Amino acid sequence: MRAGNGDLLKPDVIAPGQDILAGVAPPGNAGNLFNLYSGTSMSSPHVAGLAALLKDLHPDWSPMAIKSALMTSGSDVLDGPNTNPLVIFRQGAGHVRPNRAADPGLVFDSGINDWLAFLCGTTTGVSPATCSALAGLGYSFDPSNLNVASIAIGDLLSAQAVTRRVSGQPGFDHVEPGAVRVLQRQLHADHGRAERIQRWPIDLERRHPQRPRPHGHPSFGAGGAGGRLG
């Protein structure tokens, strides 16, 4: 979990992007057809390719479900000696791991109404009529409740409850490094949806108020597979 502006973790994930052998235009590259490039222009194609592979493996998954699988299966990156991966805010949910993403255990999905509700709570760009209709349907405008595979609370002073909708049978194993205590409550079936979705209430309590930006990765086990929230 990492707190940022808008109560939404960004970036979502990271991918290989350093010294990637890529096809290039010979003009401007000393006549070479290939060169070593670095940056998001190199890592983005890796994620796009992984998304295509996951879509082929799970044709019924939405783009957000695919992103969920990539996020919950991520791993920490060490940027040098004595680096603590839990304080590298730039890695998002972690470095992508394709094989783990194929069977993530849990899927956090969201649709257009979820994102409209998020915008109702963070901008003035959605019409009042639309926001009122979403409120009537039970959508939360708290950006921390956006149904993504991470939890970000920009001003967690003491405690806050958030909710996620998941497919699968979640259960937290542990939380690192312990600056935030995570308590899970009883699952509730979401009968308003055709697929087997459950509402997952999660309580977060800040254990060390004096520490700036508490963070961690709640790890879960689900159906023989496991992962973590960003």
Opening angle at CA 202, ends 197 and 204, nearest 5: 160
CB 43 within 8 A of CB 102: no
Give per-residue pLDDT as tens, 127-174.
999 999 999 999 999 998 999 988 887 777 777 788 888 886 555 444
pLDDT at 99 over 80: yes
**Count: domains in the chain:** 2
Higher pLDDT, 104 or 81: 104
The answer on 47 and 99 residing in a single domain is yes
Q: Identify the residue with better confidence: 111 or 176.
A: 111
Q: Pick from 146, 164, 198: which residue ends a domain?
A: 146
Overall average pLDDT of the 100-114 stretch: 90
For 4, 34, 118, 169, 202, the CA distances from 10, given in Å and listed in that order, are 8, 31, 15, 26, 21
More confident residue, 39 or 189: 39
78 or 179: which leads in pLDDT: 78
In this structure, the answer to whether residues 179 and 74 fall within a common structural domain is: yes
Beta bridge partners of 34: 23
pLDDT over 90 (residue 32): yes
Q: What is the mean pLDDT of the chain?
A: 79
Is the domain of 167 the same as that of 66? yes
- The answer to whether residues 11 and 125 belong to one domain is no
Alpha carbon 151 to its chain centroid, in Å, reads: 8
207 and 119 in a common domain: no
C-beta neighbour count of 127 within 10 angstroms: 11
Distances (CA, A) of 74 to 10, 24, 55, 187: 14, 30, 18, 25
In angstroms, the CA 148 to CA 229 distance is 9
Q: How many C-beta atoms lie closer than 10 Å to residue 215's C-beta?
A: 20
Count of residues in the chain: 230
Q: What is the pLDDT of residues 218-230, one digit of tens each?
A: 666 655 456 777 6
Residue 160: its pLDDT value, please?
77
pLDDT at residue 208, as a whole number: 61
88, 120, 146 - which closes a domain: 146
Q: Tens digit of pLDDT for each residue in 181-194?
A: 555 555 554 444 44
- Specify the pairing of strand 180-184 against strand 198-206: antiparallel
Alpha-carbon distance 64 to 47, whole Å?
13
Q: Assess whether 204 and 216 both reside in one domain.
A: yes
State pLDDT tens for residues 42-84: 999 999 999 999 999 999 999 999 999 999 998 887 665 566 6
Confidence label for 86 from pLDDT (cuts 50, 70 and 90): low
Q: Are residues 170 and 76 in the same domain?
A: yes
Judge if 24 and 60 occupy the same domain.
yes
- Give me the pLDDT at residue 191, please: 44
- 35 lies in the same domain as 81: yes
Q: Are residues 152 and 122 in the same domain?
A: no
In angstroms, the CA 176 to CA 6 distance is 23
**Are 87 and 182 part of one and the same domain?**
yes
Task: Kindly report, residue by residue over 4-13, the tens digit of the pLDDT.
Answer: 456 888 888 9
At 94 the pLDDT is 86
Radius of gyration of the chain (CA): 19
10 Å Cβ neighbour count for 125?
A: 8
Domain around 215: 5-110+147-228
153, 123: one domain: no
